[in-house]
Amino acid sequence: MTDTDAAPGPLDLADPGTDPFAVAEAAAAVIRERTGVDSHDVALVLGSGWGQTGDLIGETLTEIDNTDVPGFGKAAVAGHSGTMRSVAIGDTGRRALVYGTRTHFYEGRGVRSVVHGVRTAAALGCRTVVLTNGCGGLREEWPPGTPVLIRDHINLTAHSPIEGANFVDLTDVYTPRLRDLAREVDADLDEGVYVQFRGPHYETPAEVQMAKVMGGDLVGMSTSLEAIAARQSGMDVLGISLVTNPAAGISKTPLNHEEVLEAGKAAAERCGRLLAAVVAKI
Ligand code: 8IG
């Protein structure tokens, strides 16, 4: 078992001399070997509150510790699992690669680590990535436990996963066709603009108001950097946020991580059914 994050070398994402796409290829090779299949079709990233939903997609055929795969580290957030699973999508014969956790920008491992799962999925042949997260909601009509489709994002990290003069078009980052497909499953789904802050602290009420006047509906600490990397790799993106708490200042009570996990548990069934049905249709 090698923790490649710790060992400087040709597969160290932190080394500027390393090609991050070569590390993604190396990760894909390990996943091919462990799963016994050449390619996967869809990748899913399960964020806060989404941990249990992967089980409804289908049977887990292989579970791999992240630490066994080049470029992946340990889970840093309570309630996230540090494994990835190869799941049969119902009886379609297609496979989903389900990441039980993600690397957040605020962990300080660099943007390459944040998007490594997405790039590995692309190297495995996935044409679609489903990015889920738990987030704060800015709209009163979205109580905790409400899933919302991401229509667009505002990236406030001041970083990009793209290196060099490579001008990736972001007009339709979140593939309209996939949002339509999600609404075929659940016609009540609303759409919103996701604002990615760096974190790891939650926003001040003034920052939440700033996000609102900018056109934001959801505030979180993930997803937009991964979505950009997915578009660079030519993948279609479906983003779904689970509103786990009203953003700071939107409600009277302060935020805590337990509240977030509770809202996730309560919404798990609706979200699980939604994900399973959407993935079966992709
Ligand atoms: I769960 O209110 C969750 N993640 N930035 N703000 C930000 N991230 C979050 C929040 C929130 N809730």
Over residues 139-162, the pLDDT tens digits come to 999 988 999 999 999 999 999 999
Ligand 1 lined by 202 (C-beta under 6 Å): yes
pLDDT at 22: 96
Best mutation site among 202, 210, 258, 271 for ligand 1 pocket (most ligand atoms within 8 Å of CB): 202
**Orientation angle between helical segments 20-35 and 116-123, nearest 10 degrees:** 60
The pair of structure tokens assigned to 233 is 């790799």
Q: How far is the CA of 26 from the centre of ligand 1 (A)?
A: 33
Q: Looking at ligand 1, which atom is closest to the CA of residue 134? A: 1
pLDDT at 81: 56
The SS3 assignment for 22 reads helix
List the beta strands (DSSP E) in the chain.
42-45, 60-65, 83-88, 95-99, 128-137, 146-155, 190-196, 218-220, 236-246
Best mutation site among 50, 101, 135, 253 for ligand 1 pocket (most ligand atoms within 8 Å of CB): 135
Residue 261: is it exposed, middle or buried by C-beta count within 10 angstroms (0-12/13-18/19+)?
A: middle
Q: Distance (Å, rounded) from C-alpha 126 to C-alpha 40?
A: 5
Q: Which of 6, 56, 66 is nearest to 31 (CA)?
A: 66
Q: How far is the CA of 282 from the centre of ligand 1 (A)?
A: 28
Ligand 1 lined by 245 (C-beta under 6 Å): yes
pLDDT in tens, 103-126: 999 999 999 999 999 999 999 999
pLDDT at 78: 61
pLDDT at 2: 44
Best mutation site among 197, 210, 221 for ligand 1 pocket (most ligand atoms within 8 Å of CB): 221
The pair of structure tokens assigned to 108 is 């300080």
Q: Distance (Å, rounded) from C-alpha 41 to C-alpha 127?
A: 6
Q: Distance (Å, rounded) from C-alpha 30 to C-alpha 22?
A: 13
DSSP secondary structure code for residue 281 in this structure: H
Kindly report whether the global pTM for this prediction surpasses the value 0.95.
Answer: no
Ligand 1 lined by 26 (C-beta under 6 Å): no
| Residue having the nearest C-alpha atom to atom 11 of ligand 1 | 136
Q: Which residues contact 229 (CB under 8 A, 6 or more apart)?
A: 115, 118, 119, 161, 162
CA atoms within 13 A on the CB side of 190: 19
Is 257 within any annotated ligand binding site? Answer: no
One-letter amino acid of 246: P
Q: Can you list the domains of the chain with their CATH numbers?
A: 20-281 (3.40.50.1580)
Ligand 1 lined by 207 (C-beta under 6 Å): no
| Residue having the nearest C-alpha atom to atom 7 of ligand 1 | 220
Least-confidence region, from 33-47, 101-115, 229-243, 263-277: 263-277
Q: What percent of the chain has pLDDT over 90?
A: 76
CA atoms within 13 A on the CB side of 266: 15
Q: Which of 221, 226, 277 is nearest to 122 (CA)?
A: 226
Active site residue ranges: 203
Q: Distance (Å, rounded) from C-alpha 17 to C-alpha 63?
A: 31
The pair of structure tokens assigned to 44 is 């899913």
